[in-house]
Structure 1
């Protein structure tokens, strides 16, 4: 193209974009939003105007929630070339408005791809243009493509002919190109024409044409497809079947999701998948081979049509951004020594925040806890009238006889002092055991392991909770004892109770405390995790739960946990309180349960059960809410990714950003390294990240 032709071409480009802009007129509020975005990332130039450089343009239009794990930052330069109408290496405000207006079109993704190939801005693409753009962007893959095949000539005619592609013809060509690319790549590696290629060659093909659509764990495991059949090789049928799964991944996800929801245990087998596909789709889209391949990668090679899998098993295949749960926080080997100290500081910081949040939660529900304790300690067999008829009567009498509101907070300070270590031990041990028992690749943990983690956490916290509980109970009962003794018993504080009990006395009733806390944590942590995952769908396609969803999950999990463990809490309360004259003395947990059931009836074992539910659910909800708020208001000040956290995020529903990303994905369907040719041509696959480098052979 001669330099003298440049002004004419630029004018045609400008007129083309102007016509596009006139078809979709932006609203005033959109212009204001675009202006704010432009001004935030633009830089002043020598002519006194602001312009977007390539890096500034990428920051302005790339969806931040997408990140650059599947689409590399350099590849957004393709869109910069579309927006840079004058070809001066800068995007003006006027150019940016035209580009944003283009993104409002419903077919913006294909429009962007078309303009990348339409080098001369003629509004059509001939054979030479298509070949030149594509050749320069697939050179680094080392998998050649023959442009002189009959398939290509069906679209563009003979080389040198007059048949050129308009926009609509181009969209069909670019959609069908990947299938032809796949066929030619298989033929290229099948040198002896036996209909098979090696596992490493299959991996190289898929990385080339669909590396941006699959997660790293799936890309690493591609060679294992050869294990589905004897021979350690992969047939063309299997390659096509795998490619069909990738192209219909949205349909695969919908079918799996619907089948899992209908399943009683949240898991499905291969027949469930095929039955759901047959019942929900007009035509049978997936062959038995394709279904088997889905199961192969979801089960990580554990074949078997009867193997039942949950939604978590399929996430690595369905979500291109999926990563094993421990990768994001795993420190590098070179920085392990430096990160130990920073991790310790951050853990201490979180410990303090957890203590503050736990204290606020405990303080908020402490009056309920006092009423619960009074009701549980009340013996219906004691000579004389029952002191409290019900919870409402207890509240009225405490308020009237023990100093009003202050009476409801007897023993609150020891409770608050003990909340921090109690919550820290419980949460830390539960997280530690869960991490050890979680599959590092799928993030899956068995029900037994969840119960083990919760039970271990509850058992460990007894070291702190038992002394805390016995002092709290003695203080909560102090007002009642003083009233029953007609004021002759002097008031006793926490320090007096600790000295009188001694170290051994502080662990009186520890067995009962263990019997309550271990099953409570088993039920609570398991229910909480299952509610977050199965009801609120945490982690599905990167979903992060809102504060309201966390509150609901925490509150709901606390209900069965609190009520089902009430019998152990009743026995613990009576073992740790001071028995008065005429009251039955219990030798232990089993003896206490037996005697209470015999003397007062089984219902007595659930005294205060409703109060426990009313207390535990809001306590966990308030604690989690405050913990989240503290993290937002006062985040860890020395975090390494503090700047990243402060970066403004975009709304995930911004359709223009989605179309820009999808336009790139259409180009990446031609080659995963599309747009990186400048660095890849000279260095080959060295420019690709490690996971996108195909293995030479599978062993």
Structure 2
């Protein structure tokens, strides 16, 4: 292997050692690490270091384990290529990295330009702080010769940076960054001229593939690399022109951002070439995509399909944009395929139980608020002496003092807890089922109409459980008030007595009003919740996973309009389901209830308890969803495919220093995708081309 080892692996003189130590000392003073970072670095170092004569060191293998972002795998950037960075960290050139060396390297990674700093140190073979023509040529030659595509270092482009022979000057850091950035374009131009031997402006498809493999192979997926020769199908002569080579290579880094934005703005989650070009014109101030560049993108994203008018989804572009992309069928594990109906039933049952537990937690947490809401909604202002509570606070005080303290606030809670499990399970299951059926499998999009329909269907189905539950709950909640109104003569009855008294038909009294409340509630709530997560908290964008706090806010805020706007139906339902006392108006159905309440008490009466309903529903759904998330996280389905592997899924690295280390390698790989992977024979030959002062 020949990377910097072939260019800077010789014993370093004392002068050079002093220079390196002085440079790294200055660097560590510029960006002084915090104590917590030192602790973290020490923990990482100790985890991978080996004992050498009583002192811990990192060899190249352990160093790669310590600094490589392994959750990305080693698909495009090979594991051995990370050893290039080991040569930078190995200040003393002894094949070992001490903890002090590791701290200096980590400190370097904290710099915002760490990627270019690392690339500069790779080329600065004598650690002089500048790079001359011979150094640049030697390092590149050692790492590009194996490709078989030569590079003319005496070209006019190179002379613009270092001058002509006899008058060449050295490059400082900032000059080097511009040189290395422009090198790939010159490499591409020379490679095309090398294969275009007859000078007709065309090369063969396999020659085009060799060029792209050399300078951009680390950026593209296996799928795209395998289909590179198909670019010739866009040309009648079945050869590839220079403009097509440039069109394929140019602006690839900007493609993902533009496509993501264009898809996000699309109503159906699909875009065509015109949508892409419109987004480019609106987002890019100067650089634009030509129609040829856009057509080439569509050619590869559509798997070689014809016609730039094809409307593609974001998933279609993954093969082009993601170097780790594999065909969808490859990622399907045997465990998932073999699960079948039995696993689906088991998983649904398990989720049903968890949903019930979570719903019970949410219901219990807000039950006192629900009791106050029910008392306020049942007040009849037309009857003399009927108004018992001036407001919610007055209701809380009177219930506490007159009906037995805190326990009074939980009267009727057991039927609520028993019934809430199937209620929440039905609502969540039906909503998810309809949404899944109505979602476009390619775009992952669902129309607003179907979102509303899914919520409405879920709300309608839950009435089967909700109505018997709520009429029993309401009568239990009102029992204390009735007993007190009748001078204590009536004996409070339990849930069993109320159920026997009502009978099967009576349990569904007020079902129409319940239907009128739950259907619009679920329409508003589930639609608002989905859009709060997606549009406000940006769930899924750039792989974002919402925190529990964000889920809590999304669920709570979504419940507010849903609860308040459906209060009129809830008021009528409460009046219908409450046992009427002497002198109170009797309602004959939902519409009769609406009419009589409006005539006798005015529109404001329809919103009685609206605030209490908001205060109850908002935290209830928040508590329910957060509890559900916690249960899923800590008690996942034990028999599913995810339980087969004991190893947890790899986490996305959030350490920016690891990203900069990877980006430094990408800068070098832009010079050659094989940078750092030259065979030993080629390395030996290229070492002989080095100046004597740089040879090992």
Q: TM-score, normalised by structure 1?
A: 0.76
Aligned-partner SS, 2:648: helix
Aligned-partner SS, 1:44: strand
Aligned-partner SS, 2:453: helix
Partner of 1:644: 648
Partner of 1:177: 183
Distance 1:291 1:78 in 2: 34
Partner of 1:285: 287
Aligned-partner SS, 1:544: coil
Aligned length: 658
Partner of 1:38: 45
Distance 1:9 1:163 in 2: 26
> Does the C-alpha gap of structure 1 residues 344 and 43 become closer, same or farther in structure 2, counting only changes over 3 Å?
farther
Rg larger in structure: 2
Partner of 1:83: 89
Tell me, yes or no, if the aligned pair for 1:145 and 1:181 is still in contact at 8 Å: no
Partner of 1:19: 22
> Does the C-alpha gap of structure 1 residues 349 and 595 become closer, same or farther in structure 2, counting only changes over 3 Å?
same
> Does the C-alpha gap of structure 1 residues 292 and 104 become closer, same or farther in structure 2, counting only changes over 3 Å?
closer
Partner of 1:245: 251
Q: CA deviation at 1:558?
A: 0.9
Q: Show structure 2 runs of 5+ residues with no match.
A: 683-696
Partner of 1:433: 434
Tell me, yes or no, if the aligned pair for 1:13 and 1:85 is still in contact at 8 Å: no
Moved more, 663-672 or 33-42: 663-672
Q: CA deviation at 1:660?
A: 1.2
Aligned-partner SS, 1:531: helix
1:247-262 correspondence runs (5 A): 247-248=253-254
Matched, 1:663 2:664: yes
Q: CA deviation at 1:118?
A: 5.9
> Does the C-alpha gap of structure 1 residues 485 and 339 become closer, same or farther in structure 2, counting only changes over 3 Å?
same
Aligned-partner SS, 2:550: helix
Distance 2:238 2:523 in 1: 45
> Does the C-alpha gap of structure 1 residues 75 and 557 become closer, same or farther in structure 2, counting only changes over 3 Å?
farther
> Does the C-alpha gap of structure 1 residues 95 and 218 become closer, same or farther in structure 2, counting only changes over 3 Å?
same
Partner of 1:545: 546
> Does the C-alpha gap of structure 1 residues 478 and 105 become closer, same or farther in structure 2, counting only changes over 3 Å?
closer
Distance 1:219 1:402 in 2: 77
Aligned-partner SS, 1:644: coil
1:130 to 109, 127, 140: 140
Partner of 1:100: 106
Distance 1:437 1:591 in 2: 37
Matched, 1:111 2:113: no
Matched, 1:57 2:63: yes
> Does the C-alpha gap of structure 1 residues 480 and 184 become closer, same or farther in structure 2, counting only changes over 3 Å?
farther
Distance 2:499 2:241 in 1: 76
Q: TM-score, normalised by structure 2?
A: 0.76
1:70-469 correspondence runs (5 A): 71=77, 73-85=79-91, 90-117=96-123, 124=131, 125-136=135-146, 138=147, 144=149, 146-147=151-152, 150=155, 154=159, 166=171, 168=173, 170-183=176-189, 209-210=215-216, 237=243, 240-241=246-247, 243-248=249-254, 273=279, 276-277=282-283, 281=285, 284-287=286-289, 289=291, 331-333=332-334, 335-337=336-338, 351-381=352-382, 385-469=386-470
Q: Show structure 1 runs of 5+ residues with no match.
A: 682-699
Moved more, 660-669 or 377-386: 377-386
Distance 2:260 2:121 in 1: 33
Tell me, yes or no, if the aligned pair for 1:54 and 1:89 is still in contact at 8 Å: yes
CA RMSD between the two structures? 5.2
> Does the C-alpha gap of structure 1 residues 6 and 451 become closer, same or farther in structure 2, counting only changes over 3 Å?
closer
Tell me, yes or no, if the aligned pair for 1:454 and 1:522 is still in contact at 8 Å: yes
Aligned-partner SS, 1:50: strand
Distance 2:636 2:191 in 1: 51
